[in-house]
Structure 1
Amino acid sequence: MSILEIKDLEKHDEHMMVFPAFSLEVSEYEVVAIHTSMNARTMLLKQFMGEIPISNGEILVNKKNIKLAKREFFSEVGFFCLDDKLYERLSVKDNLSFFQRLYGSELSIEEVLRIVQLETKRNIRMSKLSSSEIRRALFGRLLIQNPALFIFEEPDQNIDLETKRVFLKMVWELKQKGKAVLVLTSNMESALSFTNQVYRLDDTGFHALDIKTEDDAPNEEMPRSQVSENEAEEITIQPVQFEKIPIKVNDKIVLFDPPEIDYIESSEGQSNIYIKGEMYKSVFTMTKLENRLQPYGFFRCHRSYIVNLQKVREVVTWTRNSFTLVLGDAKKTSIPLSKTKMAELKAMLGLK
């Protein structure tokens, strides 16, 4: 059953497109992550929280529309935001007890303290806790609320390993209980650590990432003893042109479409792929990447760089022997262009 339904939601900021219309459903027992920029994430959260109006599209939680039934909507959803705070003069236990009374929760304070690993800190004031321990207390507040949908903004940003472990275990337990979890993050590695259901949201649209785990690849080999001579004669190997670029993140493999890639840089023998300002390590050499990406408009502009020519906005000449390619991204990323490659690029573009 769908807990969250986003239907044709979009956001413009004056004359700029923050994100175009997109739709998403998150059902019970599901954890979904949206990888997006800080600006898009902030705008999306503000629409969820009713801080800015929804001009196009709608958001429903358990069929309750935020525009038509705001009180009922907020009874079904709980938020963790990066700027959330608790009462600093109260202890951890007193804070949780306050929210227990506020929400009329039947969940035991002791059980919440156990889940967020703050049993030994129960009587410590919030002002005396570390930033990671405060984060765990905030997670505990959400558990006390016990909504149908949990929404987390950058839940593992600037926290210690123990707190991240607590969060991952908590999310797993929420999933087992039939809750729906939505994580909003600008860190791809974080998104992949929470779930295999990851989407990218930006000004170009809403895209599901093609993700495989290392165990997903089927073992198609058959013992030779099980293959007859006649069958062996009929087996032929068909050439396959693989059109995606695999990038390994932790124990998962993300398959990116070539047009998503901005450029590739070689550093200390490692090929690093840059997509939307984030860097991912590639398992391929620069030469292999050059060969695979050339049909998609990529150009080896320097011995250490391969660039997606579709992303180039300017070619800048500094001196007779010094050139730079400027990308059309927000940072105006500069890529070096060698003298010999400048002549090759001119020929490709039909320039003299």
Structure 2
Amino acid sequence: MARKRILITGAAGFLGSHLCDRFIADDYHVIGMDNLITGSLENIEHLFKLENFEFYHHDVSKFIHVAGELDYILHFASPASPIDYLKIPIQTLKVGSLGIHNCLGLARVKKARVLIASTSEVYGDPEVHPQTEEYWGNVNPIGPRGVYDEAKRFQEAITMAYHTFHGIETRIVRIFNTYGPRMRLNDGRVLPAFIGQALRGEDLTVFGDGSQTRSFCYVDDLVEGIVRLLHSDYAQPVNIGNPDEITIGEFAEEIIQLTGTTQKVIYKELPVNDPKQRQPEISKAKELLNWSPKIDRSEGLKRTYEYFKNLPEEKLYKKEHNNFEKYIN
């Protein structure tokens, strides 16, 4: 029997590369697509020798052509950290609008099922806690985070429109904070930022008073939830994340313990519209997908720390690679 064929956009990114690995392991023919604006070929170079993997260096905001049959499309192309989308706000909006439009158009032609990567950021700075899928959110569309939040909200809206109007098979995963190997060390997100500072002997920077909360899900658990959602028959959004909530201040102390460093925690002003609370309500995932996270934070952090600790020293001190300049338009 011929292998199922799946297109994964954002394939060279943190989550995209782990999804490539999973579907290769499940014996799919994987077509990775990435413009490498934030992704890195290092994340997927181990796949290039495989006959059931191919890579397209392409921007999904432009017309997409994939030859042959296509069974599934996973749209994971998007800047995902504040450092990225504040530097390239237009590109962030384009990949969440033109990019998803192109993916949905391709799905319609190929009769493929589409799963889109939405985010807990659609809830904004929430007034409901924990966040359920029925909560509509508290988002400032013109604030500094609006380019990302509203791109994802539009992405959900157009996906549902294609589902209801064109009958396209669609799935929407709302991803909460996820971590693991292949995260970019200096991309501005709290976990790699803390570990990077610890490894460099710097004080750990907490924005705000440390009372804001996050809930961290290990990447393997997230990927399992995504696979189960893809193969489900549920078209409405589903939260995938770990509901084990912790304050940022407590999390900084965990990182100090994990890394055995002696630095102190310093506090800086909280960025505008930064969410004060973030915790997924995952009853739907449990009921519909028989999914819940299996890897606790202590184990996941050990694995992630080992990855960062073994990076070449130049990566520890090097500023983030990017190809932003040619995409500013």
**TM-score of the superposition, structure 1-length normalised?**
0.27
Using CA pairs below 8 Å that are at least 6 residues apart, which structure has the higher relative contact order?
Answer: 2
Q: Structure 1 or 2: larger helix share?
A: 2
Greater CA radius of gyration, 1 or 2? 1
Q: Structure 1 or 2: larger strand share?
A: 1
**TM-score of the superposition, structure 2-length normalised?**
0.29
